[in-house]
Each structure stands twice: as structure tokens, then as C-alpha cells.
Amino acid sequence: MSIPQEAGERSQMTGNLKKLRPYDEPPRRGRALVPGGVDSAAGLWFAVAAVWLLLAAGLGLLWIGLRMLPAAFPEAMPEGLNLAFQIPIINWTVAFNDETVTSGFFAALVWGWLTNAAIAGIWYVTPRLTGQRLMTDTIANLALGLWNLGVLGSIAAAYVNELAQPGLLMEAPWWIDGLPLLGLTVVNLVFWRSVLPHLRGAYVSLLYMGLGLISLLGFYGLGALIELPFISLDETARFLAAAAFLRLVIVYWVVGAAVGALYYVVPRATGNPLYSSGLALAGLALWFVLGIGSAIGTLVDPTVPFAVTSLGSAATMMLVAHAFIVIANLFLTISGRWSLVLGTGAVGFAVVSLAFLGASALFDAVGALRGVQALVGRTGWSIGSLLFVTGGMATFAWFAAAEHGLPRILRRDWRATPLTDIQLWAVFAGVTVTGLSLMAGGLAEGSLRAAAADPAEIAATLIWFDVGAAIGFGLVALGALAFVLDFFLHYTSAPRADYALAPSTTPPATATDTAPATGS
Amino acid sequence: MTVPTPIGSRRSGLPAWAVGLVAFVLLVGGVYAASNLAGENPPLVGPLPSGSAPGGGAGEALAIIESAGCQGCHGQDLSGSGSFPSLIGISSGPKSENLVSLAEEEPDNWIHLWIAGTDERTSDPAMRAGMPAFATDPYNLSDAQIDTVVEYLKTLQ
């Protein structure tokens, strides 16, 4: 029960804020337009990556749906869905068909989800391994805008006949490519400026990520260069360049950055030191040298000497050694903490990523055999194999990095929830089913074509594999949704927590000062 | 302030089993490369597959054969009709005398050259005896399309 007099006195003491004297008001704190706080770059890039994952999953569902249309409706849509309309005034034709949706899907998956997640992981790992804050989080966040606007432009260009260039992941014309190229240049600048003083004796993660970043900048730049108007390449040369570009991006950027993340997350999450730094560096050297050879193996054309292509195929097979080195090194690192593998924490995600790494390396090696190439060339096999690397190995590596890093970036009490279980199992099952369905469908298609089967028979057989792939994509979309929801709910409703520094995994002689600072 | 929290390792050297594994894989790759030095790459006919449009190689080839009207002369099943030779079994050599010397000169490419009809050795109307030059008007088949047809014809036995 309130006492009016006391209430009146109280109200006079709290007062009307508008009547307070100026020096009683707290100073207005200006908010920067572009965030520049510690770990803001890592957090923002991860958040954008999560959105791209959802978009990529949706485009993937659309893509697989379009694949099934000709077989499902052979009379109404024998060539599949083929919509086109003209944009008035500029008279550009926007085409919506199997080819353009494929381009959009892979751009969203690789340039959108994987690249944003990889750069987020780099921003997270770099300060913790070098002991130095990023050169500037603000500029890193500016690069976020440049890169993602460019990727949106690239995806849009893939749908416009007058703009689209041939080749997966290379659809954007040179003037659209300029924007993401500028973003990549800024990212490289910030990274190398932060890392160069500490390059001597740098941990293997930084080496993988650094080489991946600089390679991506180089390849992306070259890819934009060959689209300049005064560079005239014939159709075959352009397709060869596109095939090599795709392989280089996958090996050096997608796989490289993801392996770098695994080398960071597994020791941190288990609390164990890495099994062998020498083994890690040997794997790095193998990967770096064989990657170029692997790209040469994609140059399958009469204009390229057969021996050269064969050496390239051999390099692809030898990359199995790199995969085995990474898997063995990290499994031996986990040794003694196997209980973590069974849960849905960072280690669980990392182990799934390693499984996909091994599987995709083996599939690539088998796919490099001449006989297999002749059978499954230009079928769904190559897309299934690509999905094992991108949707499997790399995606789970970034899930592991997110599971480990996001609680520390956002300073939230992060616990495994049913959404985490759905994320892991749905995406794992989805990618496995999709990849295997497409690869099996490729084998079936190749076999039927070799037997000169009737086109209707081929279509009737393939639709069942596409149905399997569609189910897989549905599971992946479910898992992606679970990831985004989990991220959102933890950010908005999890209690705040500050994480202690990781126990040093170095021998006591090199122990560092443990003043309270950003957690690792 | 950011404090470095380095990740150590239990050992810095290379385990013997890893050296053995890498050596084995490199050996396998080297043997494969050494046994695949002679040959010719098939043509690259387009970007990575983006769909399972009905057809693939054989289907596409049949569609081209149908639209070009090959069956009008060579028979519905391409086994020949009247003076027009059969196309079955041409992987082992031409069925017509006038193509024997071409096949000897270009063992891997004679079918393509003959169908295209633009090479000086195959463009003579007298030699072609009414067979159209499919790389020219009105057919304008591309190299890729002709290669697709050639690959299909080679499978006919």
C-alpha cells in the first residue's frame, strides 16, 4: 500500500528525465555505423553465413525439383521448366531453368555459406593464435558488405542471359566480379597484416587458411580477368578454364580453409595437444603441391596432351594421402577424449567432417580413373562428389567451428539442444543420401548410355535416384533451419557467460601469461 | 588485450607409418600416371552436368540423327538401305570403299571428318554421292554434336 506523501517525494526524487539538468544526463554514446568491437567481424560473418546456408538449402531443393520435372511430366515439360521474361527498357532476358538454378545454388553454397563461414572462422582463429587483435574489425566488416553484395550480384547475373558467363562459380561478368574481388583483397589485407609479424612458427591452421585466402584471391582474380572484353578465348578454352577454376577453388579454398578450422577446433575442444605438428606440415605440403596437379587433371580435351591430363589425375588420387594424414592426425589428437565424439559438440561435428573428407577424397580418386571418367562423365556423379566436399566435409568443419567459437564470440552460455541434434543428424543424413543418390544415378546413367538405352528408359531410371536426392536435400534444409534457429535462440535468450582461457597445450617452458582477456 | 593461446603438439617429427603411407600412395599414383601416358583425351563438350535431362549421350545422338534425317538414307535402324551403307560396326572401319584411304590417314577422326564434310578430303560432292555436309548449311552441326553422334555410332555392333 503506497503512502501518497512518500510517493510524491519519491516521484520528485526520480523526476522527469526531460527536466534534469544537462550534466545529470548520461553522455550520449555514438554507435558506429560499422561495428568494430572485438570479435564483431567473426560474429557478423557467421551470422551472414547462416542466412546463406538457409538460402543455399532452399535453392538446392529447387534445383533437385527442376531436375525431376522432365521425367515426372514428360509430355508437359520434356525439356524441363524453361521460363524467360524480358526486363523492360534494358531488354535483358531473365531465364529460369535447370542451368540457371544450378548456378545460383552452387554460388549460394560456395560463395555464400562456405566462404562467409570460412572467413568468420579465420577472424575467430587469427587473434587467438597470434595474440594480436585483427588489424581492424571495422574494415573486416566493410569487406563483409563488399563480398556479399558481389555474391548477390553474381547470382543475379547467372539468371540474365546477356550477363551469364560459362562455367560453374564463374557466371558473373568482370564488372560484377570487381566487387567481391575488392572484398577479398580487403580480407587478405586485414589477415596478412595481422598474421605476418607472427608467421615464423605459425600454427598449421593459419598456414592452411592463409594459403587458402591468397589462393582464392588469385584464382578469383584470374577468373575475372579472362572475362575482360579484350581477352578472347574460344569456347573450349573457356570451358577448360572453368573446369580448372572449380577444382582449384574446391581444393585450395574450400578444403584448405576447412582443414585449417579442424586443426584448430579439435585440439581446443578436446583440450589435447595436436598429435604431430610435423605430420600436419607434411600434409600441408602435399596438399599445396598436389592441388595444382589435381586441377590439371580436369583439362580433359584433345588439345591437352594425354600424358599431362593423366599426371593430373594421378595428383587427384594422391590427394587421398593428404586426407588420410589429416584424419589420422586429428583422430590421434582426440585420443583419450572419445566420449566427446558421441555428443553433438564441436568434436562430434569435426569427426563427421573428417569422415566426409575421407569419403570425398576416395570418390575423387575413383572418379579420376580414365575408365570411370568415360562412364560417368557429364552425369550427376561429379555433382554428387562435389556435394560430399562442400555440403559434407566443409559444412561440418564450419559447424564445428561455429559450435566452438560462437559461444565465445557472443559470450553466451551455449548448450547442446534438440536443435543441435537435428542439425547434426539431418544434415549428415541429407548430404549422404543426396551425394550417394546423385553418384549412383550418374553410374546408372553412364551405364545406360553406354548400352545405347532409350532416352525414356534412362529418364525413368534416373528419377528414382533424383527422388532420393530430393529427400536428402529436404533433410539438409531441415538441418540448416535448425542451425539458424539454434544460433538465433542462443543469441537472444541464452544467459551471458564469459569463457576461461583454454588450458595451454604447450609444454610448461612456453606457457604464456594468462591475464584475463578474450576467451579461446 | 588478446592473449595468445598457442596449440602445442605431442611430437614434431613424422611418424614412420605416415611416411610409409604417403610413399605408398605416391607410388600408386606414379604407377597410374606411368601406365596412362599414351592416348587421346575425349573432347570436352560443355560445362559440368547440371541436370539429368532425358538423353545424355545416346539420347542426344539419336535426337541429332533424327533431326538431320540420317535414317532417311541409312535406314530406320541405321543398318543401311539400298546403296546407302550400314552404319553398324563402323568402329572397326568404313563400309564404303571411298572412305578406306581416309580411314587409313585419320584412324581416330575419319567418321567426324566425313560427317562434317568441310575438310578438303571430304568435301568433294562427287565423293560424297549425295551425302550432305552436316557442318554446313542448313544442318550446321557443331563439332560437339558431331562428336556425340560419332561416339554413339561407334557403340553400334
ipTM, two decimals: 0.75
Calculate what percentage of chain B has a pLDDT beyond 90: 6
pLDDT in tens, A366-378: 999 888 888 887 7
Q: Are B8 and A280 within 8 A, CB to CB? A: no
Calculate what percentage of chain A has a pLDDT beyond 70: 88
Q: Are B8 and A304 within 8 A, CB to CB? A: no
pLDDT of the residue at A72:
73
Q: How far is B141 from chain A (nearest CA, A)?
A: 15
pLDDT of the residue at A19:
62
- Residues in chain B with CB shorter than 8 Å from the CB of A318 are 25-26, 28-29
pLDDT of the residue at A502:
54
pLDDT of the residue at B51:
35
pLDDT of the residue at B54:
36
Q: Is B7 among the domain residues?
A: no
The yes-or-no verdict on residue A250 having pLDDT over 50 is yes
The yes-or-no verdict on residue A445 having pLDDT over 90 is no
Mean pLDDT score of chain A:
85
CA angle in degrees (0–180, nearest 5) for A118-A423-A117: 10
Looking at chain A, which residue has its C-alpha nearest residue B27?
A318
Q: How far is B125 from chain A (nearest CA, A)?
A: 29
Q: Is B139 among the domain residues?
A: yes
Q: Which of B14, B38, B43 sits opposite A278 (nearest CB)?
A: B14
B2 pLDDT band, cuts 50/70/90, is low
Give the number of domains in chain B.
1
A492 pLDDT band, cuts 50/70/90, is confident
pLDDT (average), residues A139-167: 85
Predicted structure pTM score:
0.77
pLDDT of the residue at A247:
93
Specify the DSSP element, H or E, that contains A275: strand A274-276
Q: Which domain holds residue B123?
A: 56-155
Residues 6 or more apart from B41 whose CB is under 8 A from it?
A300, A301, A302, A304, A306, A309
Helix axes A256-270 and A115-130, enclosed angle (nearest 10): 50
**CA-to-CA distance for A222 and A206, rounded, in angstroms?**
24
- Residues in chain B with CB shorter than 8 Å from the CB of A323 are none
Q: Is B101 among the domain residues?
A: yes
A7 pLDDT band, cuts 50/70/90, is very low
pLDDT (average), residues A176-190: 92
Task: Say what the alpha-carbon torsion angle A317, A321, A326, A327 is, to the nearest 10 degrees.
Answer: 90
Q: Is B14 among the domain residues?
A: no
Stretch 58-97 of chain B: residues touching chain A, C-beta under 8 Å = 58-59, 62-63
Q: Are A517 and B15 within 8 A, CB to CB? A: no
pLDDT in tens, A102-124: 888 999 999 999 999 999 999 99
Calculate what percentage of chain A has a pLDDT beyond 90: 49
Q: Is B136 among the domain residues?
A: yes
**How many beta-carbon contacts under 8 Å exist across A and B?**
234
pLDDT of the residue at A344:
78
Q: How far is B86 from chain A (nearest CA, A)?
A: 17
Q: Are A102 and B51 within 8 A, CB to CB? A: yes
Q: Is A134 or A246 the better-scoring residue by pLDDT? A: A246
The segment with the largest mean pLDDT, out of A175-179, A200-204, A256-260, is A256-260
**CATH classification of the domain holding B142:** 1.10.760
- Residues in chain B with CB shorter than 8 Å from the CB of A242 are 47
- Residues in chain B with CB shorter than 8 Å from the CB of A517 are 1-3
- Residues in chain B with CB shorter than 8 Å from the CB of A390 are none
Q: Is B19 among the domain residues?
A: no
The yes-or-no verdict on residue B76 having pLDDT over 90 is no
A460 pLDDT band, cuts 50/70/90, is confident
Instruction: Kindly state whether B41 is in contact with chain A, defined as any CB-CB distance less than 8 angstroms.
Output: yes
Q: What is the DSSP letter of A160?
A: B
Q: Are A275 and B9 within 8 A, CB to CB? A: yes
Stretch 1-20 of chain B: residues touching chain A, C-beta under 8 Å = 1-15, 18
Q: How far is B126 from chain A (nearest CA, A)?
A: 31
Residue A37 burial (10 A CB sphere; 0-12, 13-18, 19+):
exposed
pLDDT of the residue at A501:
56
Mean pLDDT score of chain B:
79
Task: Say if residues A407 and A499 touch (Cβ distance below 8 Å).
Answer: yes
Q: Are B32 and A236 within 8 A, CB to CB? A: no
Q: Which of B5, B28, B38 sits opposite A306 (nearest CB)?
A: B38
The yes-or-no verdict on residue A221 having pLDDT over 70 is yes
Q: Is A360 or A163 the better-scoring residue by pLDDT? A: A360
pLDDT in tens, A388-397: 999 999 999 9
Residues 6 or more apart from A337 whose CB is under 8 A from it?
A270, A271, A272, A347
pLDDT (average), residues A143-167: 85
pLDDT of the residue at B151:
84
pLDDT of the residue at A125:
93
Least reliable range by pLDDT among A175-184, A475-484, A495-504, B93-102: A495-504
pLDDT in tens, A199-215: 888 899 999 999 999 99
